[in-house]
Amino acid sequence: MRNSGFLESLNVFYQYSKLSLKVMLEFKLDRSMITLAIFCREMIAVVVMLLILARFLHIRGWDMNQLFFLYSFLFISYSLFVFIFAGVRDFDQLVHSGEFDRYLIRPRGLLFQVVASKIDLPATLGHGVVGVILFMNTAFSVGITWNMQNILFYISVVVGGAVIQASIFMLTACMSFWAIRIENIRNLIFFNARRIAGYPISFYPAFIQKMLIFIVPFSFVNYFPAQFFIRKEDMNLFWDGFMYMTPVVGVVMFVVVSLFWRFGVRSYSSSGNALY
């Protein structure tokens, strides 16, 4: 059964998506309201930045377009991450409710099922719309020539950024296998890191910069890719190679975390309290 092929998997994925979509359409008004709410929540930081820049015009040589271009990476890659990996984001609930046991007895890869079984369209759209608005308003006014090479690099960077964020979530999802609850701490670290990364990391003290490069590598989601495109002076603070490393960081993190995941699945014992 396992080697029934790629097309077969694709078909299962399609069926899963259709089901998720049906659930969503069942609650049209509610889900649209949630999308709007997420949009508003994400706009808080954007509006605050807008108000600051309306008053001060630029911060350390970064003007409004450049700062918003930098910010747009966070939203677009997060949107892509949630679109594909919503199941990973909510993985801990799967384990705590015992639902995960059902996945174990199905003839498909576990990670595939976790990824395929859930689509969070409100979050995808809520973040995505903010990202696209920011991108469309800035991408053509910060002096980037959108040739083939740049477009390809942009895509690889957004995918890389999404994979980096997915890896952070998967790492904490793995902790659930040993019944360690760290969702609170993960959210604290993840969303604070994301908030910090909204501004150029060169604004911050050195230890925060180091943290965003080596520990929670959010700087590879937006700061270094943005530097590749708009090349500000403060890039001199960092090694030039960082600008090209986003896809590499993504792949390395994903491979390491996948190995950890396999190890985790092997030592999994059920919480034994199926709620459904």
Partner 1 sequence: MRLYLELAKKSFQNNIVYRADYFASLINAIVLIFVNIAIWKAINEEEGALGGLQLNILITYIVISFLMQTVYQMDEYFIEGKVRTGLISTDLLKPFYFRLFVFSYNVGSMVFKFIMQFIPAMLLSVFLFRLLPPFNTQMLLYFILSAILGYLVLYNINFIVWISSFWFYWTFSLVTIKDAAVMILSGALIPIWFMPTWLIDFIELTPFNAIFYTPILIYLGMMPEDEIFMSIVKQILWIIALFGIGHILWKRATKKLVVQGG
The residues binding partner 1 (CB under 8 A) are: 30, 33-34, 36-38, 40-41, 43-44, 47-48, 51-52, 54-56, 58-60, 184-185, 188, 192, 195-196, 199, 203-205, 208
Q: How far is the CB of 133 from partner 1 (least distance, A)?
A: 16
Q: How far is the CB of 3 from partner 1 (least distance, A)?
A: 43
| Gap between the Cα atoms of 34 and 244, Å rounded | 36
- Closer residue to partner 1 in complex, CB, 68/103: 68
- Closer residue to partner 1 in complex, CB, 56/214: 56
- Closer residue to partner 1 in complex, CB, 185/248: 185
- Closer residue to partner 1 in complex, CB, 54/148: 54
Q: How far is the CB of 178 from partner 1 (least distance, A)?
A: 17
Q: Which helix (H) or strand (E) holds 58?
A: strand 58-59
Count Cα atoms within 13 angstroms, Cβ side, for 22: 7
- Closer residue to partner 1 in complex, CB, 34/139: 34
- Closer residue to partner 1 in complex, CB, 38/114: 38
| Gap between the Cα atoms of 228 and 226, Å rounded | 5
Q: How far is the CB of 196 from partner 1 (least distance, A)?
A: 5
Q: How far is the CB of 97 from partner 1 (least distance, A)?
A: 18
Range 164-185 burial, b when 16+ CB lie within 10 A, else e: bbbbbbbbbbbbbbeeeeebee
**Can you say whether the dihedral through the CA atoms of 173, 174, 180, 185 is positive or negative?**
negative
Q: How far is the CB of 184 from partner 1 (least distance, A)?
A: 5
Nearest partner of 253 among 191, 130, 159, 167, judged by Cα: 167
* Tokens describing residue 233: 């002076």
Q: Residue 40 carries which side chain, given as an amino acid letter?
A: C
Could you tell me the CA-to-CA distances from 139 to 74, 94, 218 in Å, in that order?
14, 39, 21
| Gap between the Cα atoms of 178 and 27, Å rounded | 35
- Closer residue to partner 1 in complex, CB, 58/262: 58
Q: How far is the CB of 203 from partner 1 (least distance, A)?
A: 4
Range 27-42 burial, b when 16+ CB lie within 10 A, else e: eeeebeebbeebbeeb
